[in-house]
Amino acid sequence: MSKVLEQKVRDGEVAVASMRGACAPQVSQSLEELNWIPRPRLLALRRLGIETVEDLLTHFPRRHEDRTEFPRFPREESDVPICLCGEVVKTSLRRFGGWKKIFEATLQESQANALSEPLVCRWFNLHYVQKMIASGQRIVVFGKPRLRGKRICMDHPEFEVIENDEEMSIHFRRITPIYPATEGLSQRALRSIVYRLLNELRPAPAGFETLLPRGLMNGDMTRAAAIRAIHFPKSWEDRDAAREHLVLSEFFAMQMLIASRRTDASIRTGEAHCGSDVLLDRFLKALPFELTRAQEKVIAEIHHDLAATHPMNRLLQGDVGSGKTVVAIAAMLLAVEGGYQAAFMAPTQILAEQHYDVLRRWLEPLGIRLALRTAARQVESGPLSLFACVNRTNSPDEAQIIIGTHALLYESVSFSNLGFAVIDEQHKFGVAQRARLTAREPAPDVLVMTATPIPRTLTMTIYGDLDVSTIDEMPRNRGKIVTAVRDTTKLGEVLSFLRTQLERGRQLYVIYPLIDESEKLDVKAAAAEYELWRERLHPFRCELVHGRIPAPEKQKIMERFRRGDTSTLISTTVLEVGVDVPNASVMLIENAERFGLAQLHQLRGRIGRGEHKSYCILLTSSQAKEASEKLAVLERTSNGFEVAEADWELRGPGDLLGTAQSGLPALKIGNLKTDAHLMRRARGAAMSIFQADPRLESPENQRFRRLIVEKHGRTFSNVS
């Protein structure tokens, strides 16, 4: 940088500093009040969910580029993306395949010599790029260099045009932030806005107080200092220290919310809901199989909780077919024998009806009165109607166990004496729905179940307010499932195999990702392919089932399939959970690459439920490496915990911390996968604070009280 330019920068910084004070932006201030941000930029920022000064300053960089000194242009390809700077010496636009275009920009590095290799940057069908890049410009590019013939190329690199040297202090010759951006808001524009805003802020603005307890702090770094350093760090060490501070702050706030839930639940008024074990013993002795050691262990944990006077909040996780339903029935019998009602809530009508049929078969011989309540059906096993059953207090014919969907939450069903609630497939519900069922005094005991095992780091977050029980052992009577990935070119061989299985008396599922064909997606659809399957499998009977079929008709279709009148179900993922037909031993999943790993494993769990050897065929036309790696996991293992870990490695946490599902704020900077060690530290600190001061009454904990009550709108009885 020239001495003149350096002096300009220093003069500018002094001038900005002198303007701070009364006119300095406030953290809670709307960006519209800052008259120096153009309206088109405000609209673009709003698309990113950025409305206030705080929103903008916590719109953290997704990565940083080292632009202090650019490396020489590479001569070989690399799997590691690199940041390079060069001059555009040539551009060209080539057409292929009719309307398709390739725009190429050839870059030459600064101080090139006879041995220097040019870099060719290519963009396919991105018409706007050719309007932004021209010969003679200097640009910075970020991407993976690849060898294409004799040329080193970057396909679709991120790029930034250097317009003038006066901007070098913001965008170059430093460790430069790269942000999540949007159309109409370039990196340079967004970076300039953040840079100016940070310069106009007070050194320690109100609203950016440090909330970390002393035990989690790294030295004397404040939150305000961390915010500045994460955007424009002076060194990589500064960047790492700032990121650790901000991640710990985010995780600590989350764990304080979770700890407050646990504390709030523990001090609620509760009752012991556990009767003697007479009914439970009769039920277990009548089972045609023995419980696994894991099931016995979990029943003992639940028995202990039901006998206590504070409400149980427990998560039961286990693989598909591990026997969670039997454990739930055992727990409900303990509550029923204690004189209380039990509720069993399932995410879909099909699953609720199946649970009702299973529970009737097992519990009516014990004299247990059941009722089913979904949006479409009301059925009871006793002489009274459902409404009489659930509204008539102390009736000798009152339903003791009520099975239903979310209709149990919203319809006019009132429990007279609810003591225990089971929520199946918890990930299908939100935390607010769970609270709606259980927010009553005295509080019922709650057991939530999931057949989607989750890594421990997520257990500490999504289900951090619950005690966790795990069934990590499969029943001995589970049939073996062979999983195979096949290319669509092998469909003829697959059809021959399917017909062989049908001729042996087995039944078949064919699963599609969509109900109807889509013009935007090259994906097959159940309704469109149904007639084709009827021809392929004639004379075996096929039926179509999906979410838009009216509930009564869907029930009849499922009944025919359970009886064996129908040989093949052509379906969407409506069958993901809950269907239990022991004779259905073959599943074909079309466009398998379109499904997530956990969803494929759930679908596969619909087979292997009888004595016959089962087969899951994953049909795909995708040649993508990611799709092959994903599907290979299912060929390799049928263990749901291993599948979950592989899914975690391949995909990351995704939107598992969405507010609707977890009731927790979305993460802005923390990564549940790579920052697990920081989550454990934050969890330990939060739990220690609540153990020592459950109501957060001490003066040193008042800032944490404000964090929970004001910042996140959390209201609970111990922080009022």
CATH assignment at residue 434:
3.40.50.300
pTM over 0.85: no
Residues of the domain holding 81: 65-171
Both 487 and 546 in one domain: the answer is yes
Question: What CATH number did the domain enclosing 149 receive?
Answer: 2.40.50.140
Give residue 318's pLDDT: 87
Question: Are residue 646 and residue 669 in the same domain, yes or no?
Answer: no
Token pair 């069903």 in the structure block, residue: 413
* Size (the chain), residues: 720
Whether 154 and 89 map to the same domain: the answer is yes
> Which of 540, 509, 511, 506 minimizes the C-alpha distance to 610?
506
What is the rounded distance in angstroms from the CA atom of residue 379 to the CA atom of residue 552? 13
Same domain, 54 and 196: yes
Cα 549 to Cα 555: distance, rounded to the nearest angstrom: 10
Cα 409 to Cα 18: distance, rounded to the nearest angstrom: 59
pLDDT averaged over 10-residue windows placed end to end, the chain, 720 residues: 46 43 74 90 92 93 88 88 90 82 91 82 87 90 89 90 72 88 86 92 79 85 93 95 94 87 74 87 90 94 91 87 90 94 86 86 91 72 39 54 81 75 73 67 85 71 80 79 92 94 94 72 75 92 87 85 92 69 91 87 85 90 82 89 80 54 73 86 91 86 78 48
Domain-embedded: residue 657: no
Cα 49 to the center of its chain, rounded Å: 20
Asked whether residue 379 is assigned to any structural domain, the reply reads yes
Residues 6+ apart with CB under 8 A from 193: 37, 41, 45, 56
Lookup: tokens for 660: 């609707």
Residue 197: both structure tokens together:
């805003």
Do 605 and 715 fall within a single domain? no
Closest CA relative to residue 291, chosen from 269, 318, 273:
318
Asked whether residue 656 is domain-assigned, the answer is no
User: Residue 283: what pLDDT?
Assistant: 92
Q: Does residue 301 share a domain with residue 397? A: yes
Give the span between the Cα atoms of 466 and 574, in whole angstroms: 28
CA atoms within a 13 Å half-sphere pointing along the CA-CB vector of 698: 8
pLDDT of residue 390: 36
The pLDDT, as a whole number, for residue 511 is 92
Residues 415 and 517 in one domain: no
- Same domain as 203, residue 55: yes
pLDDT of residue 379: 64
The residue ranges of DSSP E strands in 28-99, in sequence order, are: 63-66, 82-96
* 352/371 Cα distance (integer angstroms): 11
Assigned domain for 461 exists: yes
For the chain, the domain total comes to 5
- Is there a single domain that holds both residue 57 and residue 69? no
156 with 260, same domain: the answer is no
The strands making up 542-545's β-sheet, listed across from edge to edge, are 481-487, 614-620, 584-589, 507-511, 568-571, 542-545
Say if 272 falls within a structural domain: no
The pLDDT assigned to 523 comes to: 63
pLDDT value for 578: 53
Examine residue 443 and state whether it is found in any structural domain, yes or no: yes
Report strand pairing: 568-571 vs 138-143: unpaired
Domain end among 436, 471, 506: 471
**Residue 319: phi, psi to the nearest 5?**
-65, 165
Look up residue 193 and give its amino acid.
I
* Same-domain status, 231 and 311: no
Does residue 658 lie in a domain region?
A: no
Ordered alpha helix ranges (H), 167-222 = 168-171, 187-200
Query: Does residue 505 belong to any structural domain of this protein?
Result: yes
Query: Is-contact 513 572, C-beta < 8 A?
Result: yes
Report how far residue 213's alpha carbon sits from residue 689's, in angstroms, rounded to the nearest whole number: 9
- Quick one: pLDDT at residue 438? 64
Residues 226, 193: one domain? no
pLDDT at 635: 92
